[in-house]
A and B are shown apart, each in its own frame.
Chain A
Amino acid sequence: MANIITCRSVCKTFGTKRGAVPALQDVNLEVAEGEFLTVVGASGCGKSTLLRALAGLEPVTAGQIDALGARVRGPGAQRAMVFQNYSLYPWLTVMENIKFPRQLAVHNRDCTSSDVEVASGRADALLNLMGLSAVETAFPAQLSGGMQQRVAIARALMTRPRVLLMDEPFGALDAQTREVMHDLILHVCALEQCTVVFVTHDVEEAVYLGQRVVLMAPRPGRIESIYEVPLGPVRQQDMKHTAQFLALKAQILGRIRATSGLRTDLELLQKLSRRG
């Protein structure tokens, strides 16, 4: 399959008062069309920065990102993004939020009445697919966190983007809701034939969802290693107890511990306990 996203020697430095801080250093990454790629790493490893760079929300300092055959120079409708929270429009109902992208000029060029009909059908289909039919006319504030994220995903999918970028979208949800959302997002993205880049700090989530898992390490933010997940395209919750799953999870967790620079904290703890 062809690559839909290519990162070549991508570097990103944030300027602060104490000088330049490298957030991403020499990141090379290829994402195949239709792939579900997860990115995992300790905080400060630059995984969110990388995703924001792919979205075009964060300009890179050096290197080049290509998506869908063109260089990324800013946000674009073909690369939809789902945020952790607070991205829904509280003044719009669930249905109005999902239809929001249809108000934008970029999705209304040469718009015919049959296009409008198709769009309306699409919104209804997404509403059903995401299990939101019962709350169609509710405002986001009336929904639980899990339901709000369903709306955010439906809205991102409204205009059939080729790539879906997800920045810890389930980070604020409880464990049970999260499991439901995992199976839902796998189902929906397979149905939509969408390429997904999914950032998380939860290794189990990364292994369960991803066909490949990219492990990033901090100081400076870089890709540490990439793992193929040997579980096949269809995932089920009981796979989480298989030896393969647990082994890969343990391996990735081990690498995170080894590379996250948390050893200094351990030393500090030992020093403190000795003093006590």
Chain B
Amino acid sequence: MSTPWKIRGWISPASYWTLAAAGLIVPLCAWTLLSASGAVDRVFLPAPTDVAHQLAAWFSDRDLLTDVRISCFRVIAGWALSALVAMPIGLGIGTFRGVQALLEPLTDFIRYMPAVAFIPLVMLWVGIDESAKVAIIFIGTFFQMVLMVAEDVRRVPMAQIEAAQTMGASRCEVIEKVIVPSAKPALLDTLRITMGWAWTYLVVAELVAANSGLGYAIIKAQRFLQTDRIFAGIFLIGVIGLAIDQGFRGLHRVAFPWLHARD
């Protein structure tokens, strides 16, 4: 029996997927009707078919795959670099009060600075080649990631840590055999969420002397008022993001069977 309006109630899988499909199809139909009715100028709101044509044309004559590949590379490189540095620092902040005192206020301070504002500095410091785009994405993700990792580590229950200590574990053993494995599922969620943020910085990153990439394509289309291309670019980023997110969720289920095992 479905109880859709009960708080945290239950619905059947069939109703769930029907509603999920409706949630995607209804806005699409509304969009189609609105653009077909002619009430809104196509410059402001292109028809879904225009966007589809743009996508097809982009794929056949303007190297869509190259744009996707280079953008994916920039996002993943910036994000992975940030993860590589943020993980140990966050672990330190979440584990030792001294490291927390030293680094957390500083991180809190920098994370409010807009990544966009760093563009001139980045151009000055690392130039205008690939590394500049990666650096912008790094700046956009890194500081948030440090704080999230620290919070994940701080959430490891004290009883788990103290149990290991009373079994004779050394400080290194507590970190290696308790804190890290205990925090792993939360850390993977943090990586998934920050990957989303890294994508939002793509357009900003490709403002810097880029001549390829999805963000660059959006910026260029904007200059020529090609609204349908802007839509196509945004749509592609959404699809790639959704795919990566689902990948992370799948990885979570495979890597942490104890969280999903229920009798």
Contact = CB atoms under 8 A, between A and B. Distances in A.
Interface of A: 55-57, 74-77, 79-81, 83-92, 100-101, 103-107, 138-142, 152, 155-156, 159, 165
A105 B170 contact: yes
22 contacts: A55-B162, A75-B162, A81-B162, A81-B163, A83-B163, A86-B160, A87-B159, A87-B160, A90-B182, A91-B182, A92-B258, A100-B164, A100-B167, A100-B177, A103-B177, A104-B169, A107-B168, A139-B257, A140-B258, A141-B262, A155-B167, A159-B168
Nearest to B160: A87
Contacts of A90: 182, 258-259
Contacts of A155: 163, 167
A76 B170 CA distance: 10
Contacts of A104: 164, 167-170, 173, 177
B261 A141 contact: yes
Contacts of A87: 157, 159-160, 162-163
Interface string B214-256: 0000000000000000000000000000000000000000001
Contact of B178 (A57, A77, A89, A165): A89
A104 to B, nearest CB: 5
B261 A89 contact: no
Interface of B: 157, 159-160, 162-170, 173, 177-178, 181-182, 184, 256-259, 261-263
B180 to A, nearest CB: 11
Given A57-B162, A159-B168, 9 more contacts: A55-B162, A83-B162, A87-B160, A88-B163, A100-B164, A101-B167, A103-B173, A103-B177, A141-B262
A106 B182 contact: no
A138 B258 CA distance: 9
B262 A142 contact: yes
Given A91-B182, A103-B177, A80 B159 contact: no
B166 A105 contact: no
